Structure 1
Amino acid sequence: MAQRFMQPKLADKFESVVLSHQTVARRIDDMGEYVSKKIRDYIVKCEYYSLCLDESTDQTDIGQLIIFIRCISKDFSITEEILNLVPLHGSTKGTDIFQAVNKTVMEYGGFHKCTCTDGAKAMTGNVTGLTGLLKQNDIDCPLIHCIIHQEALYGKSLRQMNAMKIVVKVTNLIRGGNKALSRRKFRNFFTEIDAAYGDLLLHSEI
């Protein structure tokens, strides 16, 4: 971190400090508590928030449910954070996902500010899926099946292919093929202007 702030001498001092594994563990716990407190503050101060869920399997074949949150405040500023990463050691059915989501959200104040939830089709069952379980527990939270696909379909219906062709062509000039030098220059340019994004994303047909 000291190197990121252009403090090489301070970084050398940090490297010379020997910490026990107990101290490192405590510091990590402190950082985790600080992040949780910041997210809780965001949720308390926001007007509404939405959730995004994704379930995948890690290298040890354990299901991992990641829960994202997007908060919107009174001045319409938006904050996006990872709310929780929940390991699913058993099955990954709708009940397991609901229990993980419900436990996480209740720790941060409940569903009363939640406007919608975005998840994969496997989560949208009306009986035993996340949608059905939310309704059974009187949680009025609309669930959207993969908003990325809906945005892609909406973009196609606008018939803006001429604009997309130009965007894809420019992107390929920077990142396509053997364009490592061009990409490095472009990323350095992003850093110089303090851009919100540090790289150029490739277009993908959905």
Structure 2
Amino acid sequence: MVNLVLGGDSEKKIQQISLSDNTVSRRIEEMSIDIKEQVIRAIKDAGLFALPLDESTDVSSYSQLLVFTRYVHEGKFKGEFLFCQPLETTIKGEDIMKGVTNYFSELGLAWKNVCAVCTDGAPAMLGSKSGFVSRVKEIAPEVAVTHCMIHRQALASRTLPRELQAILDNAIKIVNYVKSMPVNTRLFKQLCKGFDSEHQPLLFYTKVRWLSKGNVLNRVFELREELKMFLDMQDKEPFFSMIHFGNHV
């Protein structure tokens, strides 16, 4: 950038200026504060805003309150991450309410401007007497409450009919067979490349990221011909036939 604006000589001079860790840290912090101020200003200009929020436990077993926001900016819906705050003791509705209220007070946001709240089905969120939503309703009775769509679909996906569960289990076995060994991964990639397939790698399924369930099945279906040929070459074709694509997909 300096080279384009000021020329090569200025670029060399800039490169000779060393930045300490404190300087880099300070500039990152200043940029973070600036972004935060822009988001808060846009929320206030919008008038009404929604609060999707969730409580999640991190890898260190600490409970983190994650709060997002949605609002209208220049005629378009915008979604932004608002803040993250650790819940150091209990994880109750009053703890969540206190954390959000303190944040609002610090930045000059008002509960009367909250038009909707979206949470999961945890008791701390939806408890009828002391849940977070109940406490919000006491302050803002008109607020709309919705249950997170992703959580609802995740709950629905936990129980599958026996035949569909068998298909998923067998598809995961096939994916693991191909991807668990580097040589199989490389051979399958070359096979897909030789057939000009739309995709080359398969996708892993993990329970932590439940949306991967559908993505894995879609990818296996899209590469079903390549997989059939590859497993036939590996003398594993009966392994593939257990999925029965023609009957269930």
TM range (shorter): 0.5 to 0.7
CA contact (8 A) 1:118 1:147 kept: no
How many matched pairs?
Answer: 160
Paired residue secondary structure (2:61): coil
Q: Partners in 2 of 1:51 and 1:111 — Cα distance?
A: 10
Which whole-Å CA distance do the structure 2 matches of 1:144 and 1:16 have between them? 55
Pair 149,33 (structure 1): closer, same or farther in 2 beyond 3 Å: closer
Tell me if the contact between 1:47 and 1:73 (Cα under 8 Å) persists in the aligned partners.
no
- Pick aligned residue for 2:147 from 133, 145, 148: 145
Moved more, 104-113 or 56-65: 104-113
Matched, 1:126 2:128: yes
Q: Is the 8 A contact 2:52 2:118 kept in 1?
A: yes
Residue 85 of structure 1: aligned partner:
84
Contact 1:124 1:145 in 2 (8 A): no
Greater shift in the superposed pair: 49-58 or 143-152: 143-152
**Counterpart residue number, 1:164:** none
1 CA distance for matches of 2:141 and 2:100? 12
SS in 2 for 1:117: strand
Give the distance between the partners of 1:19 and 1:80, measured in 2 at CA.
34
Residue 148 of structure 1 deviates from its aligned partner by 3.3
What residue is the counterpart of 1:5 in the other structure? none
Task: Determine whether 1:100 maps to 2:102.
Answer: no
**Equivalent residue, structure 1, for 2:57:** 57
Question: 2:131 is aligned with what amino acid?
Answer: G
Quote how far apart the aligned CAs of 1:135 are.
2.7
Structure 1 segments unaligned to the other structure (5+ residues)? 3-8, 154-176, 185-200
Calculate percent identity across the aligned residue pairs. Answer: 27
Counterparts of 1:1-206 in structure 2, within 5 Å, are: 18-73=18-73, 75=75, 77-106=76-105, 107-122=107-122, 123-138=125-140, 140-148=142-150, 182=198, 204=214
**Cα distance in 1, alignment partners of residues 38 and 152 from structure 2:** 31
Q: Is the 8 A contact 2:117 2:144 kept in 1?
A: yes
1:69 and 1:83 in contact (8 A); partners too: yes
Counterpart CA distance in 2 for 1:18 and 1:51 is: 43
Instruction: Indicate if the aligned counterparts of 1:124 and 1:143 stay in contact, CA closer than 8 A.
Output: no
Q: Which structure has more helix as a fraction of its residues?
A: 2
The verdict on how the C-alpha distance between 1:40 and 1:125 changes in structure 2, with shifts beyond 3 A counting, is same
Q: Distance in 2 between matches of 1:126 and 1:11?
A: 63
Q: Which has the higher contact order (CA 8 A, sep 6+)?
A: 1
- CA 1:19 to 1:51, structure 2 compared with 1: closer, same or farther past 3 Å? same
Larger radius of gyration: 2
Q: Distance in 2 between matches of 1:12 and 1:131?
A: 58
Q: Distance in 1 between matches of 2:12 and 2:86?
A: 37
For structure 2, the 5+ residue unaligned runs are: 2-7, 156-178, 180-184, 201-210, 216-249
Structure 2 distance, partners of 1:64, 1:13, is 44
Task: Sort the Cα spacing of 1:49 and 1:151 in 2 relative to 1 into closer, same or farther, 3 A.
Answer: farther
Cα distance in 2 for residues equivalent to 1:58 and 1:152? 19
d(CA) in 1 for partners of 2:26 and 2:132?
36
Query: CA RMSD for the aligned pairs?
Result: 3.7
| Amino acid corresponding to residue 66 of structure 2 in structure 1 | I
Cα deviation 1:92-142 (Å, max 9, x = unaligned): 111111111222233242122221111111201121110121133455423
